[in-house]
Amino acid sequence: MGIARNIARIFTWWDGQTFATQFWTWRKGERVGEDAGGNIFYRNADDSRRWVIFNGEAEASKVAPEWHGWLHRTWDEPPTEVPLLKQPWEKPHLPNLTGTPQAYAPAGSLRRADPQPKSDYEAWTPE
C-alpha cells in the first residue's frame, strides 16, 4: 500500500499533496496556521504566494471563510494574527455537502429519510 500511495502522490493532487507540493512547501513555505478542519496554510518569504495543504480530499469549500479571505488577499493578516470577528447570528462553516448523504433534500424529495405527504399534483392524461 505504501508504494502505491507514493506512486499516486506523483500524479494526483485531489487526495493530499503531491511530492512537488511537499518539496515546494518544505523549501519555500512558512507555516501560517491551521483551521478547525486540519487544513494547513502557508506562504512564502515575500508573501507573493499563499497556499493550503488540505486535510484529506482537496475540496475548496472546506476552507473556512476567514482563511479563504486571507488566501485570496481580501485581508493581509492571517486569522492567527488578526481573528475575524464573528457575528452572533453566523452559523459555523460547513463544506459543500452536495453529493453526500448530508446534502440538503427539500420537502417532497425522494432522498428524505422521513416520509413526506404526497404532492397535490395530478398528471394530465388525454381523453
Higher pLDDT, 116 or 92: 92
Categorize the per-residue pLDDT at 117 as very low, low, confident or very high, splitting at 50, 70 and 90. Answer: low
pLDDT of residue 7: 66
Higher pLDDT, 116 or 87: 87
Categorize the per-residue pLDDT at 1 as very low, low, confident or very high, splitting at 50, 70 and 90. Answer: low
Long-range contacts of residues 114-120, Cβ cutoff 8 Å, at least 24 apart: none
pLDDT of residue 115: 62
pLDDT of residue 75: 92
Higher pLDDT, 118 or 75: 75
Which of 4-8, 45-49, 78-82, 94-98 comes out lowest in average pLDDT? 4-8
Q: Is the dihedral of CA 4, 25, 92, 104 positive or negative?
A: negative
Would you call 20 exposed, middle or buried from its count of C-beta atoms within 10 A (0-12, 13-18, 19+)?
exposed
The Cα diameter of the chain in Å comes to 76
pLDDT in tens, 7-45: 666 666 556 677 778 888 899 999 999 998 899 999 999
